[in-house]
Structure 1
């Protein structure tokens, strides 16, 4: 059934299309039936259709909208708050960045994230959302309503743990001087049963259109979750069909301590617990070995490559080519705006392609423009549970489209639209963005909200939250050099996983 604001047919005509199976853009028209791509035809093929809306794509490149396989909506209000630190230093500071937020703050941060994504051509995201001290149905609804209002698709997956950073790394706590140790030891993790109960309650009565806004689940990091808690998350994922995501092997410290704790790699431990399935996606997946990749691929897991935050936090470079060679599906993610400083998938795709060039001189192993585009569209969509309906310009897929202005300098002269898009586009050429056949961005302006008012609200909220979290921020600053020294020491220890270093192969 068509939505009231969706006449049954739309013809996007006069453009160059990057359609499924095409290695190059070609002149073609696209017919949208309701919210779905009905057909792709030769220029002018649909001119005789009566009663159809028409969208002039002359001098435009039409591409499938990006799908963000991993981000954190709470990062929207945390932009600029993360110091030059590694992952563990960031995790120690997270309560002072994300704390003291009410429901309005959760919704506001999600709105900021959605607005930036849409304006940069992304129409769907996997959000590992955070609410302190633990997720609530009201908080999940607040985030979901924000996405619904802006007009973006999302998986809203509460990020949960039943261990603190210092419980995950008790060795770290032992290295701290007594005053800091006492303060750090006061940190408390959420009650695992309360977390699982909140997700169950949300899953039992989810009031949103699941073709647009889905509930997910996200045990944050293996070492930060007890085995029983991770299994509880996996059981909820299976029972309610929830997409599940976890941070995997993001830092060398996680891999080293995982091997010490479990006597095997993190992936092998997760496999032993029964966590691996097609519903699971693993974010980052930097410090993993070839056997790990094989296990993930065999289970149908999707890995999400987050090159910007990996570089920002000094975590390393994921072995993407090795993943692809072993049959592991790889999508792209921006990560949160606090740790990647952007939600721009154009930048993510370009850096993903460029990073592959530093791992060796074999050009055949570099990530091509076509691979980067597919990772950031069709392959990311699998992580959201929408692999059969998003990320492609093909009949039967949702009409989530981006129109790029070919008069922009990066397309002049136009020789290879695909290569110029992936390796040169910043998002500045995105003149129109459609979600399910509806224009939500027109000439770079978001049509679903007042951007000036959003900016004022964000600034006021940031100033209020910074004042409320000042004490925690001072503690995080005091902890930083100790955490850095601890992590540097771990980095000097032998690493026994059967894999290459993060910048090779």
Structure 2
């Protein structure tokens, strides 16, 4: 067998998050893994490839704890939608998808992420009416072709949104009730069979699988238990949208007489491989339960604002030992895949929640969440999230001559509050350059644009009836759900007080 090639990075400045400094350091890489970090002039084997990192700041690749690959073709499709309106729009946004579309959508997102300094993502991918090995493989191939890591989780449910929200179906006219029959999902046993098929022989190296029961009350208990057992049998993660919106919490109480997190815990789903997406409306007991079980929350501040879900209490989560990662959410509701912006919003969303500035999220906490915290949510905390010997060589090189870095005072503050992705010079994933000198080396963006436009035109015709149906449903859902959200609750997570909200 050939010996793995050596690479030596010289002349760069390595971010030290704890010390808030960036000191000159050389990095020796063997194959895809960091072998040694040392002072400038570090010895390297003869024939090692040399990378000149002068005027560069090196930081660990950012890790997106929560996104939706299929959302990339829906980028910028809608403006004023709550989570519930977005769910209502899913047949319009996600309809008419071929295998090629599934590959294309994942590729657009992966390309954007790596160009903006993100090297791994937890991607919750929905297929209608149930997941398929072909669909999941097409999406995994897109990540492999771009050169990015991912955990791909088929996002599944066995109840439609209209079946899941108590009282909503009764509000629809008989003709609308008939029409939303088309939203009906496959029976859970068929869906579980498809997930098992994918888990049984998954050939991808940089893309792992997980299981994502979409939203707890969109799943019957039998199905949640099936998801739990599959994840246990194949030792993969479980990722679910829990208490993302107040409507979900109110629906959960009506359905279970408890919080969503408590119900999932009762069924045995909550453990160290479990990730709550959003968790805006978790209460203190929920947070303690997650912390005690070693679970994670993927905090998606941009999406939480964009959909009007509210402001998550990240300090409360950290105080109760919850592992917090940071995510962008999907491009149809967030709308970019920019992890620098997600970190900045995580910092800012925390700082508008009250006058006790000592409780606000620090830039260091935001940066650690977007690296080590997200890595743990992906189940990869021993491989990625840090630049250290034994870790994968996933390194972002920022241009210190870019205006974002003039002057460089505190690099941790600057990464979270100043950098916006435009200072990214190069990105290395597993010792391989994927972005170099601001160019994505693995994808032809002009060809990608042409494919996206052809797909858009084709699907626009196919989804026209679904768009018409959405316009009719919007009035009902858009009245009923905000009504539910006005029910009294023991926690408040909106950005305004109740009397302003009315």
TM-score range, shorter-chain basis?
A: over 0.9
Q: Say if 2:408 is the partner of 1:414.
A: yes
SS at match of 2:89: helix
SS at match of 1:140: helix
SS at match of 2:285: helix
Q: TM-score, normalised by structure 1?
A: 0.96
Deviation of 1:54 after TM superposition, in Å, equals 1.1
The counterpart of 1:380, out of the listed 369, 374, 380, is: 374
What pairs with 1:145-184 in structure 2 (closer than 5 Å)? Answer: 145-184=141-180
Deviation of 1:31 after TM superposition, in Å, equals 1.4
- Please tell me whether the aligned partners of residues 20 and 394 of structure 1 are also in contact (alpha carbons under 8 angstroms): no
Where do 4+ consecutive residues of structure 1 move more than 4 Å? none
Tell me which residue corresponds to 1:131: 127
Q: TM-score, normalised by structure 2?
A: 0.96
Tell me which residue corresponds to 1:365: 359
Give, in whole Å, the separation in 1 of the partners of 2:186 and 2:95: 14
Structure 1: gaps (5+ residues): none
The counterpart of 2:48, out of the listed 52, 57, 64, is: 52
The counterpart of 1:279, out of the listed 249, 273, 277, is: 273
Deviation of 1:45 after TM superposition, in Å, equals 2.4
What pairs with 1:473-488 in structure 2 (closer than 5 Å)? Answer: 473-488=467-482
What pairs with 1:20-31 in structure 2 (closer than 5 Å)? Answer: 21-31=18-28
Tell me which residue corresponds to 2:308: 314
Q: Say if 2:493 is the partner of 1:501.
A: yes
Bigger drift between 155-164 and 170-179 goes to: 170-179
Q: Say if 2:9 is the partner of 1:12.
A: yes
Q: Deviations over 1:221-248 (max 9, x none)?
A: 0110011101100100010011210001
SS at match of 2:79: coil
Tell me which residue corresponds to 2:38: 41
SS at match of 1:404: strand
- Please tell me whether the aligned partners of residues 334 and 344 of structure 1 are also in contact (alpha carbons under 8 angstroms): yes
Give, in whole Å, the separation in 2 of the partners of 1:99 and 1:88: 18
Tell me which residue corresponds to 1:254: 248
Deviation of 1:134 after TM superposition, in Å, equals 0.7
What pairs with 1:90-489 in structure 2 (closer than 5 Å)? Answer: 90-209=86-205, 212-489=206-483
- Please tell me whether the aligned partners of residues 173 and 185 of structure 1 are also in contact (alpha carbons under 8 angstroms): no
Deviation of 1:355 after TM superposition, in Å, equals 0.8
CA-based RMSD of the aligned residues comes to: 1.6
Indicate how the Cα distance of structure 1 residues 424 and 20 shifts in structure 2: closer, same or farther if over 3 A, else same: closer
Tell me which residue corresponds to 2:499: none
SS at match of 1:340: coil
Deviation of 1:500 after TM superposition, in Å, equals 4.3
- Please tell me whether the aligned partners of residues 68 and 122 of structure 1 are also in contact (alpha carbons under 8 angstroms): yes
Deviation of 1:377 after TM superposition, in Å, equals 0.8
Give, in whole Å, the separation in 2 of the partners of 1:25 and 1:11: 18
- Please tell me whether the aligned partners of residues 402 and 430 of structure 1 are also in contact (alpha carbons under 8 angstroms): yes
Q: Say if 2:78 is the partner of 1:78.
A: no
- Please tell me whether the aligned partners of residues 128 and 185 of structure 2 are also in contact (alpha carbons under 8 angstroms): no
- Please tell me whether the aligned partners of residues 404 and 423 of structure 2 are also in contact (alpha carbons under 8 angstroms): no
Q: Deviations over 1:92-135 (max 9, x none)?
A: 11011111111111001011111001100111111101111111
Give, in whole Å, the separation in 1 of the partners of 2:360 and 2:494: 15
- Please tell me whether the aligned partners of residues 309 and 340 of structure 1 are also in contact (alpha carbons under 8 angstroms): yes
Indicate how the Cα distance of structure 1 residues 132 and 102 shifts in structure 2: closer, same or farther if over 3 A, else same: same
Deviation of 1:32 after TM superposition, in Å, equals 1.1
Deviation of 1:83 after TM superposition, in Å, equals 3.5
Give, in whole Å, the separation in 2 of the partners of 1:326 and 1:40: 34
Indicate how the Cα distance of structure 1 residues 481 and 354 shifts in structure 2: closer, same or farther if over 3 A, else same: same
Give, in whole Å, the separation in 1 of the partners of 2:423 and 2:493: 37
Give, in whole Å, the separation in 1 of the partners of 2:125 and 2:244: 18
- Please tell me whether the aligned partners of residues 20 and 393 of structure 1 are also in contact (alpha carbons under 8 angstroms): no
- Please tell me whether the aligned partners of residues 63 and 118 of structure 2 are also in contact (alpha carbons under 8 angstroms): yes
Give, in whole Å, the separation in 1 of the partners of 2:42 and 2:201: 45
Indicate how the Cα distance of structure 1 residues 19 and 399 shifts in structure 2: closer, same or farther if over 3 A, else same: farther
Give, in whole Å, the separation in 2 of the partners of 1:446 and 1:354: 30
Bigger drift between 12-21 and 428-437 goes to: 12-21
Give, in whole Å, the separation in 1 of the partners of 2:193 and 2:177: 32
- Please tell me whether the aligned partners of residues 19 and 394 of structure 1 are also in contact (alpha carbons under 8 angstroms): no
SS at match of 1:476: helix
Structure 2: gaps (5+ residues): 497-502
Q: Paired residues, what number?
A: 497
- Please tell me whether the aligned partners of residues 19 and 393 of structure 1 are also in contact (alpha carbons under 8 angstroms): no
Give, in whole Å, the separation in 1 of the partners of 2:409 and 2:258: 50
Bigger drift between 20-29 and 280-289 goes to: 20-29
